[in-house]
């Protein structure tokens, strides 16, 4: 009887396995190399991503250079006498002309306070305060205080040795408590006149503890992704609303207080999300972007203005016979990044603290440009840049959409120009991403490579403020990304966009990482990106069911890579169905039978699930052990990464 039952059980198991889906991974047919830049990040100063975000400065309008010079500042008059005047030294100091002239006759009852970026986030930590100041009359002392949102004094320090010359004065302030929306207060006592400028407050705890550096928690989230490249500074911000509002990298290097403030184009872009206090101080400028790329092992990918303003705004273009300065900016940028320290721009890099080159390999010319005017201007850049720097790869934009006449025209023309990379953007509904998992299977294998430079599934629709970083969107992106990986011979770079958003100051949603003044979290989309980027392998290997790639059949999407260095096989599988499924893995050309492997699972039964500041890891990968050749089950709505040594 026992024997009979055992045979029955074995027969049943055999039939079950026969009826199982069988995925065959061809470790015996190693395909294209996966570019080290395959999975990168897209940084744009949108949603307070730079000032108020990654750049850890806590004082808004620190140099009184916003058009409303006291925006972000308030006078404190507690009965004390004082007068504040903004003085403009346009001819002498055109880069940072204004300063505050303060006349006092008071005892700590007159002062100014700064509100920060939707408040100042203060932790029980040390802060560095600094100010440029001089006294022009009498004797004035400054008391600097960190104040909580409820008005409690969290830290205090004083400066009382002002001289008649401009000097930088520094204080270290140790806060006794935490406040999400605190403020900075400077009180003046004595009798006399002082001038102040570049009033600054930074946490001491910055990324790599660099003085006046970047916000450590935000950089850590980026570093954890191990991105292959960083695209910067955008995005539409490169283009500007008109040409004077365009991003000019030379205005963002050198001494920080000489970097001229510019209106952020997202200040006025969306009527439903106005941000009248959104400006660029460029404390996070091109040197810092290069340094950040180097810090986290990512290739820098600057995108430069091509002589065109945003075609959704003014659409203004530089006359073709006046385009040379724009091209010269690109040449000078290559010198700044890679040039010898005896060159003008290479020397500036060295003077800023980085004599070694930054190893720039690629540049994008133009963001979401389209039509003939773009092709003509790109061609002018390409002619000069390829003659002088054939080693630098150039990316051209395919316009703002994933297809259509502008997209087709761009590809046709840029193919003729033999461009290295074409930057495709897709902001589409989740279903588009599922349906487009095949997108690159039949792309022309010759000519330009694809740079999927901006994409994100939109739960409600492009520029809709109801868009959420929910699981449905993230899962659809994962399915689509298996198609990018499978076609790594065509697609060599890709990046989700945008990257960052301040919960109280955003203009555009969805975004990969959200933060407030104290905390930050990665969305489900972040974990999808991270799982791809930290499991990128070195070579694609085919994964098939019945000789067909998995790109939607039975709601399954799969790709596989081998990592020749780490001797790993990595298989990524999305189950986009609301039901569980299972399969058997057969790995040809590799002794994997009965081997233990790990499976990272990212899943939720709720398509609308999101992460949040309070529940930052509600949806995050969970690791399981599995055995190859045994039936492997996939949870409903799941993204799975199997790794076999
Ligand atoms: O990512 C937000 C914006 O979307 C980018 O600035 C632009 O390139 C695209 O239209």
Question: CA distances (Å), 447 to each of 369, 411, 419, in order?
Answer: 20, 10, 8
pLDDT (0 to 100) of residue 411 = 98
Question: CA distances (Å), 493 to each of 197, 363, 450, in order?
Answer: 43, 13, 7
At how many degrees (to 10) do helices 371-388 and 324-338 cross?
A: 40
Candidate of 398, 428, 498 to mutate for ligand 1, largest count of ligand atoms within 8 Å of Cβ: 498
Instruction: Report phi then psi at 251, rounded to 5.
Output: -80, -5
pLDDT (0 to 100) of residue 109 = 79
Q: Which residues pair with 187 in a beta bridge?
A: 111, 143
End-to-end CA distance of the chain: 42
pLDDT (0 to 100) of residue 270 = 94
Candidate of 240, 427, 507 to mutate for ligand 1, largest count of ligand atoms within 8 Å of Cβ: 427
- The DSSP bridge pattern shows strands 596-603 and 500-502 to be unpaired
Instruction: Report phi then psi at 87, rounded to 5.
Output: -110, 140
User: Closest ligand 1 atom, CA of 237?
Assistant: 6
pLDDT (0 to 100) of residue 9 = 46
Cα 383 → chain centroid = 30
Give the residue carrying structure tokens 């761009």: 410
Give me 107's structure tokens.
Answer: 């005892």
- H-helix or E-strand containing 365? strand 362-365
Which domains are assigned to the chain? 19-31+540-644 (2.60.40.1180), 40-56+213-536 (3.20.20.80), 73-203 (2.60.120.260)
Q: For residue 235, report the distance from its CA to the centre of ligand 1, in Å.
A: 5
Give me 526's structure tokens.
Answer: 């972040």
Instruction: Give the chain's largest Cα–Cα span.
Output: 107
SS3 525: helix
Closest CA to 555 of 634, 489, 610, 611: 634
Rounded CA gap, 83 and 617, in Å? 50
Spatial contact of 497 and 400, defined as CB atoms under 8 Å apart: no
User: Closest ligand 1 atom, CA of 367?
Assistant: 8
pLDDT (0 to 100) of residue 20 = 79
Rounded CA gap, 175 and 204, in Å? 11
Q: For residue 283, report the distance from its CA to the centre of ligand 1, in Å.
A: 22
Candidate of 41, 50, 235, 510 to mutate for ligand 1, largest count of ligand atoms within 8 Å of Cβ: 235
Q: For residue 33, report the distance from its CA to the centre of ligand 1, in Å.
A: 29
For the chain, the helix, strand and coil percentages under 3-state DSSP, each to the nearest 5: 25, 35, 40
pLDDT (0 to 100) of residue 2 = 54
Q: For residue 36, report the distance from its CA to the centre of ligand 1, in Å.
A: 24
Rounded CA gap, 59 and 447, in Å? 48
pLDDT (0 to 100) of residue 81 = 82
User: Closest ligand 1 atom, CA of 400?
Assistant: 10
pLDDT (0 to 100) of residue 4 = 53
Residue with CA nearest ligand 1 atom 8:
235
Residue with CA nearest ligand 1 atom 4:
235
Residue with CA nearest ligand 1 atom 2:
498
User: Closest ligand 1 atom, CA of 498?
Assistant: 1
Q: For residue 310, report the distance from its CA to the centre of ligand 1, in Å.
A: 11
Convert 375-389 into a string of H (helix), E (strand) and C (coil).
Answer: HHHHHHHHHHHHHHC
Closest CA to 472 of 432, 532, 425, 501: 432
Cα 275 → chain centroid = 20
Give the residue carrying structure tokens 């890709």: 494
Q: For residue 194, report the distance from its CA to the centre of ligand 1, in Å.
A: 44
Residue with CA nearest ligand 1 atom 7:
235
Rounded CA gap, 553 and 245, in Å? 48
Q: For residue 244, report the distance from its CA to the centre of ligand 1, in Å.
A: 19
Ligand 1 pocket, Cβ-based, cut-off 6 angstroms: 44, 46, 234-236, 367-368, 400, 454, 497-498, 508
pLDDT (0 to 100) of residue 17 = 46
Closest CA to 337 of 318, 316, 313, 362: 362
Catalytic residue from among 145, 269, 316, 368: 368
Rounded CA gap, 582 and 127, in Å? 54
E runs forming strands in 458-550: 491-496, 500-502, 513-515, 520-522, 539-541, 543-545, 548-549
Candidate of 399, 454, 457 to mutate for ligand 1, largest count of ligand atoms within 8 Å of Cβ: 454
Closest CA to 517 of 4, 106, 20, 146: 146
User: Which residues of the chain fall below pLDDT 50?
Assistant: 1, 6, 8-18
Q: Which residues pair with 95 in a beta bridge?
A: none
Is 335 tagged catalytic? no
Rounded CA gap, 246 and 253, in Å? 16
Torsion of the alpha carbons at 512, 531, 399 and 320, rounded to the nearest 10: 90
């Amino acid at each position: 009887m026992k024997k009979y039952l055992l045979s029955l059980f074995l027969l049943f198991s055999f039939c079950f396995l026969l009826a199982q889906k069988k995925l065959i991974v061809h470790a015996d047919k190693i395909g294209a190399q996966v570019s080290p830049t395959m999975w990168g990040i897209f940084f744009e100063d949108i949603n307070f991503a730079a000032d108020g975000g990654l750049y850890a400065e806590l004082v808004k309008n620190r140099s009184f250079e916003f058009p409303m010079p006291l925006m972000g500042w308030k006078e404190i008059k507690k009965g004390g006498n004082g007068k504040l005047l903004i003085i403009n030294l346009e001819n002498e100091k055109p880069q940072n002309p204004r300063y505050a002239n303060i006349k006092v006759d008071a005892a700590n009852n007159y002062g100014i306070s700064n509100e920060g970026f939707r408040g100042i986030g203060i932790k029980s930590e040390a802060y560095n305060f600094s100010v440029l100041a001089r006294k022009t009359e009498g004797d004035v002392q400054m008391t600097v205080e960190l104040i909580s949102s409820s008005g409690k004094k969290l830290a205090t320090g004083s400066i009382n040795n002002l001289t008649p010359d401009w000097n930088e004065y520094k204080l270290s302030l140790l806060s006794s408590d935490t406040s999400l929306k605190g403020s900075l207060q400077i009180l003046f006592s004595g009798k006399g006149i002082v001038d102040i400028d570049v009033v600054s407050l930074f946490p001491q705890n910055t990324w790599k503890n660099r003085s006046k550096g970047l916000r450590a928690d935000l950089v850590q989230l980026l570093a954890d992704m191990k991105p292959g490249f960083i695209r910067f500074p955008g995005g539409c911000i490169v283009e500007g609303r008109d040409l004077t509002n365009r991003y000019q990298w030379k205005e963002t290097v050198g001494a920080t207080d000489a970097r001229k403030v510019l209106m952020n184009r997202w200040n006025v872009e969306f009527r439903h999300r106005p941000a009248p206090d959104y400006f660029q101080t460029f404390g996070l400028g091109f040197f810092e972007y290069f340094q950040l790329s180097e810090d986290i092992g990512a290739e820098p990918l600057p995108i430069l203005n091509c002589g065109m303003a945003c075609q959704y705004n003014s659409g203004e273009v530089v006359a073709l016979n006046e385009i040379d300065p724009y091209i010269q900016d690109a040449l000078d940028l290559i010198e700044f990044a890679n040039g010898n320290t005896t060159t003008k721009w290479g020397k500036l890099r060295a003077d800023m603290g980085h004599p070694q080159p930054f190893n720039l390999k690629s540049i994008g010319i133009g963001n979401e440009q389209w039509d003939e005017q773009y092709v003509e201007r790109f061609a002018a850049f390409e002619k000069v840049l390829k003659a002088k720097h054939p080693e630098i790869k150039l990316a051209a934009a395919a316009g703002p959409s994933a297809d259509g006449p502008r997209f087709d025209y761009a590809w046709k023309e840029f193919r003729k120009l033999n461009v290295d990379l074409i930057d495709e953007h897709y902001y589409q509904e989740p279903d588009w991403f599922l349906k487009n998992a095949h997108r690159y299977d039949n792309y022309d294998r010759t000519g330009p490579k694809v740079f999927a430079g901006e994409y994100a599934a939109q739960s409600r629709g492009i520029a809709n403020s109801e868009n959420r970083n929910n699981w449905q969107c993230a899962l659809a992106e994962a399915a689509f990304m298996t198609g990018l990986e499978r076609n790594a011979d065509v697609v060599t770079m890709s990046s989700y966009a945008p990257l960052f958003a301040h919960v109280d100051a955003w203009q555009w949603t969805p975004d990969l990482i959200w933060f407030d003044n104290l905390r930050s979290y990665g969305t489900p989309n972040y974990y999808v990106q991270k799982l791809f980027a930290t499991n990128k392998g070195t070579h694609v290997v085919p994964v098939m069911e019945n000789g067909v790639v998995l790109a939607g059949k039975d709601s399954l999407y799969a790709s596989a890579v081998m990592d020749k260095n780490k001797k790993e096989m990595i298989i990524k599988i999305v189950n986009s169905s609301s039901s569980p499924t299972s399969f058997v893995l057969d790995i040809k050309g590799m002794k994997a039978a009965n081997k233990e492997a790990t499976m990272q699972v990212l899943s939720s039964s709720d398509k609308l699930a999101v992460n949040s500041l309070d529940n930052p890891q509600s949806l995050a990968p969970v690791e399981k052990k599995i055995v190859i050749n045994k039936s492997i089950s996939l949870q409903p709505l799941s993204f799975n990464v199997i790794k076999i040594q």
